[in-house]
Amino acid sequence: MSVSVTFVGSGDSFGSGGRFNTCILVDAPRIRFCIDFGASSLIALERLGIPHNTIDAILLTHLHGDHCGGIPFLLVDAMLAAKRDRPLTIAGPRDTSERLKTVAAAMMPGMDVMVPKFPITYLDLPIFRTSDVGPVRVTTFPAIHTQATNPTSMRVEVADKVIAYTGDSEWTEHMLALADGADLFIAECYFFRKPVRFHLNYPDITTHKSEIRAKRIVLTHLGHEMLANLHNVPEECAHDGLVIQL
């Protein structure tokens, strides 16, 4: 069965190279879902002509704004203009449901009095356990990133395909298990030479590439230094609008 992966946004937090925040759209039989939904995701979806009302679920790796900040805008538009009537599931790390209330209050004050006319389900995904989100099976692993964001890496199984995604994280002892046998391993790659804490950088990729047992590796979350050195990078790198068929 065909699974399609679209990099709606492939950039870092700060718009390096004019790229949108992280948002990875997956189309599979019986479900369309996003992995992460950064603050610029509605703009990026609009540019690609993808109605956000068609998204059934959003899976969050962690709670930084460039990975979850687009959700309040989606919800308000779904209630006011887009007139959403289909259920939406939002699943993420520990405390996702409570923390998103704080994000919404900061970004869209007053939306707490709005009552959606569609069902919303919030799920907190436990570490090292597999959870079902509709026909999708999600397993999360600990990540090394800003601890206040409850960071995770994520392995997603849908329609007999496996998508593994590091999220924002330093290299961890779990990365090889995360990627093992995956049809697609999406790895953040923030800097080319400069070592930056809490992130994977290109030296991490080259050091461990021979150990990664995935069918295809794509680098994303590219900062200015990485973008300036793409001619020196033989690995496949994402760009906004890239579509991969699995």
Query: What are the structural domains of the chain?
Result: 4-245 (3.60.15.10)
Express each pLDDT in 21-68 by its tens digit.
999 999 999 999 999 999 999 999 999 999 999 999 999 999 999 999
> What's the whole-model pTM score?
0.97
Please check whether residue 58 is in contact with residue 22, taking contact to mean a CB–CB distance below 8 angstroms.
Answer: no
| Whole-number pLDDT of residue 194 | 86
C-alpha 222/C-alpha 203 separation (Å) is: 14
Please check whether residue 191 is in contact with residue 171, taking contact to mean a CB–CB distance below 8 angstroms.
Answer: no
Parallel, antiparallel, or unpaired: how do β-strands 184-188 and 161-165 relate? parallel
Q: Which parts of the chain register pLDDT below 70?
A: 1
Parallel, antiparallel, or unpaired: how do β-strands 31-35 and 236-237 relate? unpaired
Q: Of 12, 73, 15, give the one whose Cα is nearest residue 45.
A: 73
